[in-house]
Amino acid sequence: MFLLVDYRSPINTHGHSLTTLVQMMFVSGETGEPSPETTTLIESIVQDQVQHMLRECTTLATRRGSKSIGTDDLFMLIRHDRAKISRLRHFLQWKDVRRSVKDSDDKGGDAGADVAAGDADLAAGVVGAGPAAPGDAGKKAKRAKVDLVWDVQSFFAENPPLMDDVEDEEEEEMNYATLQRLKNADERTKNMTREEYVHWSDCRQASFTYRKGKRFKEWAGFGLITDSKPSDDIIDILGFLTFEIVQTLTEEALRVKEAEDLYKKSTGGGAEANRLKRKRERGLFDPPEEAREPVQPGHVQEAYRRLQRGNMKSRAMLNFTKSVHRAALKLVSLLPEYGTMR
């Protein structure tokens, strides 16, 4: 264990926070019941990552000359992950929509509640699932475009209003990413029974931030790392990113485990496991193979190592020098080789 479990952390102190984590892992593909060690490890990794993000954001904000961190800083951190960026933008757009609808629906109408439900979904991280719900109400409301700071409009001094009929190319990209996610989810739920699906959809609702914003803030180190009072957006984005981290980590750990299992199977596995397996053929009453053991902390560690592995780009400028590359802590994100999208 390279990370001591911080028992002050809000999630850990409350049982259901760990449950959130387990739910997220389940959504990410872990079917078994992970041990507390595993979840604690994952949690500490995630916490570390979130705090790292906050630190970076603060640095960026300071460099910008701003005291408080903004969404742009967060965008900047994940700028290389285009899919994530586009999903975030999508999320923020819809959030904006919800807010405006809420404002306009102060007088009446239940559109707000509808959107709120969508928002919850979004905040849980499964962004693609959200927008479908609000449906027409959101569509009608004029969506504020969430622009990236480095996008084209930043080139020019004037920011002309959006033209109505402008087809946003990025929308398609966002949709593509969303569809990809939905497709994956669909694959997973295809063979689920009704109960299983209910469980699954319950798990999808899991969120670090939804109605736990305050605890999350504490956990992430707001107030310690950065003084500023974070906006709602930032908390939501962080929640989303946290979910992403958990998911990526879990997926990678599962991949590690899979590879390990394969290796064990091909070589006969470890000494004792080998003997056991050799001893008896698979019997009729043996437990089904699907009931596999959950991800172990070792798998998570290996996954984390893999995700921290430096790439060539980071050390390109050190070629032909004798300097040793010291990689900074990396944000856990999809490894390029597994990425369906860059």
Partner 1 sequence: MSLHPSSRDRLNHARPVSNALRLRTPNASMSDEAMSNGSNNNNPAEGLETAAEDDPRVARWRENYLRTEARITALLGGDQIYDGVDGEAARLADQPAVDAPAAHDARPTATPKKAARTIDEDDYGDDDDEEEEEEDDTRTSPLLAKSAPNGIPCAAIDAPSLRISSLSSKLGIDFIGTPSAEQPKSADDVRKKLQQDKEAAEAAAKRSFYTTFYTLESDRDAMLEQQRLDELDRQVETEMSGQSAATPAPGASAAPQQGTLSTTNLGASSLTLKHLIARIDAERDKVKASDTQLRSLISEVRKNRSKWANEDRVGQEELYESMEKVIMELKAGEHANPFLQRVNKREAPDYYNVIKQPMDIGTMMKKLKQLAYKSKKEFVDDLMLIWANCLKYNSASDHPLRKKALYMRKETEKLVPLIPDITVRDRAEVEAEERRMRNGDADADGADDSEDEEPIMASRGRKAPSKGGKGSSAARKAPPAGLESTPDQENKPTVPTLNHTVSNLKNEFLRADSEMEGSVNGFATPPPGTLTPIGPNGLLRGGAHGSQADVSEADGTGASVSGFPEEDADLDDLEYKTWKQVTKKDRATIAAERHRLFREDQLQPDEPAILRSRAGMRRWARHRKQAIEEGASGASTSLAEVKDGVQATTSQSLAEGIAGEEERQVPDYYDPVCTIPDLDERLHWVEDSQGHVIQQHEEYMRLLPSGQFTAPDSALAKKMESNIRQMQETRKICAKIGIVKQMQLQSQMYQNQFQKYDPQPFVEADIEPVVVSDDGPVMAPYVCRAALQRSVGKIFYHAGFEEFQPSALDAITDIAGDFFQKLVASFGLYRETPKMKSDVAVPDANGTPTHWVPRFTQEEAILHSLQVNGVDLETVETYVKDDVERLGTKLAGMHDRMRSYYAELLRPALDNAGADGSGAFNDGSEQFVGGDFAEDIGEDFFGFKELGLDKEFGVAFSVPLHLLQNRMHNAYQSQNTNNVTTTGALMEEPAKFEPVTVQNVTKQIGLMRTWFLTKLHDNSNQSLVEDDDLPPKQRFPKPRLPPTGKISSPRKRPLREQQQMARKKRKLDEEKDENGGNDQGSSANGNLMKGLGKPVGKLKLEMPQKENQNVAEPEKDDGSAVGMISPESILAA
Binding test (CB under 8 A) with partner 1, winner from 106, 136, 158, 187: 158
Based on CB atoms, which residue is closest to partner 1, 11 or 76?
Answer: 76
The DSSP letter of residue 226 is: B
The least distance separating partner 1 from the CB of residue 161, rounded to whole angstroms, comes to: 7
The least distance separating partner 1 from the CB of residue 165, rounded to whole angstroms, comes to: 10
Letter string b/e over residues 99-118, b meaning 16 or more CB atoms within 10 A of that residue's CB:
bbbbeebeeeeebbebbbeb
Using CB under 8 A, which residues numbered 283 to 312 contact partner 1? 311-312
Pair 57, 73: CB distance under 8 Å: yes
Rounded Cα distance, 82 and 259, in Å: 28
Based on CB atoms, which residue is closest to partner 1, 107 or 342?
Answer: 342
- Residues contacting partner 1: total by CB under 8 A: 26
Rounded Cα distance, 173 and 18, in Å: 34
E strand spans, 238-298: none
Pair 11, 22: CB distance under 8 Å: no
Binding test (CB under 8 A) with partner 1, winner from 15, 65, 108, 160: 160
Spell out the residues 6+ positions from residue 334 whose beta carbon is closer than 8 angstroms to its own: 81, 83, 248
The least distance separating partner 1 from the CB of residue 176, rounded to whole angstroms, comes to: 14
The least distance separating partner 1 from the CB of residue 145, rounded to whole angstroms, comes to: 12
Spell out the residues 6+ positions from residue 51 whose beta carbon is closer than 8 angstroms to its own: 220, 221, 225
Based on CB atoms, which residue is closest to partner 1, 106 or 165?
Answer: 165
- The verdict on 324 binding partner 1 (CB under 8 A) reads no
Token couple for 66: 């701003």
Based on CB atoms, which residue is closest to partner 1, 166 or 291?
Answer: 166
- The verdict on 326 binding partner 1 (CB under 8 A) reads no
Rounded Cα distance, 131 and 138, in Å: 8
Binding test (CB under 8 A) with partner 1, winner from 31, 59, 308, 314: 314
The least distance separating partner 1 from the CB of residue 316, rounded to whole angstroms, comes to: 4
Binding site for partner 1 (CB under 8 A): 150-158, 160-163, 166, 169, 311-317, 319-320, 336, 342
